[in-house]
């Protein structure tokens, strides 16, 4: 009869190398945590101590004191939602914390309890089998949190703009078919007048028009011939007010971000020297990856962490899906946005050439991901070596002139010289080699 997986692992524990003589595994939940200290003596015999603590601050302080009493400065725990953060905040000044991805430390199904989960984490970490997730310093974590919240506010602002556009369409106000930006100054003045006086569609709107819109006054008159109902007028007023409040909140967030990025100005200036990356984008990138590149093993490691590399998925000699992973939920869209700007930058055509070469074979999406990975690789080495982007390393030789490369025969070249005003009556051609 085959042995159970639990029994096999218990036998295997005696053969594996002990990396941490004393360590703690913590199974984190919303209301409580289960901690197990695994202490191994000189004879490689491990004893376990287990306790349960609530997640209130005073109880987490008791957890820290319990670890201090047992001389256990090494902790391993799962990254369960946001519930690991309060535990990390209390223990980070004392303990060396390894934050594990639950996917890589999953316990054996059927034999799973909270106590066994904490013991399992302690056993895995005792043998050095847990690879920790990247947790930046507190300053970077605070900066990252503000940038991510600002991203959410930007999404809310876009949602309100879409709701305004939907209300105008329902009311037969087709300004979006005439103007390029419904939220431009001229368009907003017209919409505000329509909201204040929904029954007055024959008003003189020409004084509200600016710049090139003055030429489209006839089309704009046709576009505003609809009627905004009382309900839609109320909805539009609420949407505009909410949109204004969101932007005020974003201004407050920007002010706090400006204070937090001051210690990282040097790194931000280095990254902003790269084509396609502005100072704001550079600050956002620093908030995601941090200024210290020594935490990543290589440029390939950081690209994999950001979700910009194909997955390894092979079985029985057959390669299955090699799509990029879901990692880098925030940094990946940011780098893709910068890559789209970089391929349009004429000062450094290397990104555009790379994009065009891959796009012919693989399409736009794969090509832009490849450019984003190329940019992240550059950022890694720039921060690691503390060097700005070196344009000379990516200089592309200028292509040969079209006029000089279009001649297939000597007669075509002579004809071109004659048309250009040159006298080529006495032209001696060298005899071709035998």
Q: Between the CA of residue 184 and those of 90, 162, 189, 236, 377, what are the distances in Å?
A: 49, 14, 9, 16, 39
Judge whether 226 lies within some domain.
yes
Tokens of 190: 């017209």
If asked whether residues 245 and 144 sit together in one domain, one would say yes
If asked whether residues 270 and 381 sit together in one domain, one would say yes
pLDDT of res. 3 = 47
If asked whether residues 20 and 113 sit together in one domain, one would say yes
CATH number at 122 reads 3.30.420.10
If asked whether residues 247 and 326 sit together in one domain, one would say no
Give the C-alpha separation, 18 to 125, whole Å: 9
If asked whether residues 224 and 192 sit together in one domain, one would say yes
Give mean pLDDT in consecutive 10-residue pieces for the chain, a chain of 434 residues: 48 70 93 94 90 95 94 91 92 91 82 88 91 90 95 94 91 85 86 81 79 82 84 91 95 95 94 94 95 93 92 80 86 95 90 92 93 95 92 67 58 79 65 52
Domain boundary among 219, 240, 260: 260
Q: Between the CA of residue 373 and those of 270, 303, 351, 379, what are the distances in Å?
A: 18, 6, 11, 10
Judge whether 417 lies within some domain.
no
Q: Between the CA of residue 265 and those of 149, 257, 286, what are the distances in Å?
A: 21, 12, 10
If asked whether residues 267 and 389 sit together in one domain, one would say yes
If asked whether residues 159 and 83 sit together in one domain, one would say no
Give the C-alpha separation, 302 to 293, whole Å: 9
Judge whether 431 lies within some domain.
no
Q: Between the CA of residue 267 and those of 9, 84, 277, what are the distances in Å?
A: 47, 29, 13
Judge whether 416 lies within some domain.
no
Judge whether 308 lies within some domain.
yes
Judge whether 429 lies within some domain.
no
Instruction: Please tell me the pTM assigned to this model.
Output: 0.80
If asked whether residues 268 and 357 sit together in one domain, one would say yes
Domain boundary among 240, 260, 280: 260
Q: How many other CB atoms are there within 10 angstroms of residue 122's CB atom? A: 29
If asked whether residues 345 and 366 sit together in one domain, one would say yes
Judge whether 189 lies within some domain.
yes
pLDDT of res. 428 = 57
Judge whether 131 lies within some domain.
no
If asked whether residues 218 and 309 sit together in one domain, one would say no
Number of domains making up the chain: 3
Range of the domain at 161: 140-260
């Amino acid at each position: 009869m085959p042995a159970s997986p639990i029994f096999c692992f218990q036998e295997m524990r005696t053969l594996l190398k002990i990396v941490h003589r004393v360590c703690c595994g913590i199974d984190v939940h919303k209301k409580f945590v289960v901690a197990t200290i695994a202490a191994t003596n000189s004879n490689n015999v491990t004893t376990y101590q287990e306790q349960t603590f609530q997640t209130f601050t005073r109880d987490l302080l008791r957890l820290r004191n319990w670890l201090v009493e047992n001389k256990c400065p090494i902790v391993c725990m799962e990254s369960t939602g946001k519930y690991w953060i309060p535990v990390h905040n209390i223990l980070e000044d004392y303990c060396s914390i390894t934050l594990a991805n639950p996917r890589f430390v999953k316990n054996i199904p059927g034999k799973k309890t909270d106590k066994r989960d904490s013991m399992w984490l302690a056993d895995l970490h005792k043998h050095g089998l847990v690879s920790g997730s990247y947790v930046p310093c507190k300053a970077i974590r605070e900066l990252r949190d503000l940038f991510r919240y600002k991203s959410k506010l930007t999404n809310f602002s876009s949602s309100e703009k879409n709701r305004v556009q939907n209300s105008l369409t329902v009311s037969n106000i087709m300004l979006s078919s005439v103007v390029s930006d419904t939220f431009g100054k001229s368009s907003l003045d017209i919409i505000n007048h329509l909201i204040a006086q929904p029954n007055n569609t024959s008003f003189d709107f020409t004084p509200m028009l600016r710049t090139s819109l003055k030429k489209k006054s006839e089309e704009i008159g046709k576009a505003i011939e609809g009627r905004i109902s009382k309900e839609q007028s109320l909805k539009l007023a609420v949407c505009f007010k909410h949109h204004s409040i969101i932007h005020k909140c974003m201004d407050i967030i920007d002010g706090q971000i400006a204070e937090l990025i001051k210690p990282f100005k040097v790194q931000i200036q280095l990254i902003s020297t790269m084509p396609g990356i502005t100072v704001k984008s550079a600050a956002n990138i620093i908030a995601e990856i941090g200024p210290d590149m020594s935490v990543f093993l290589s440029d390939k490691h950081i690209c994999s962490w950001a979700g910009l590399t194909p997955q390894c998925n092979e079985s029985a000699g057959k390669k299955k899906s090699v799509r990029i992973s879901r990692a880098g939920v925030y940094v990946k869209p940011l780098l893709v946005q910068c890559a789209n700007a970089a391929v349009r930058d004429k000062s450094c055509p290397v990104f555009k050439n790379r994009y065009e070469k891959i796009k012919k074979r693989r399409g736009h999406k794969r090509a832009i991901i490849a450019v984003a990975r190329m940019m992240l690789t550059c950022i890694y080495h720039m921060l690691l070596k503390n060097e700005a982007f070196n344009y000379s390393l990516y200089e592309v030789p200028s292509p040969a002139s079209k006029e000089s490369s279009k001649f297939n025969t000597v007669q075509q070249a002579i004809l071109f010289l004659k048309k250009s005003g040159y006298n080529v009556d006495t032209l001696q051609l060298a005899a071709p080699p035998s």
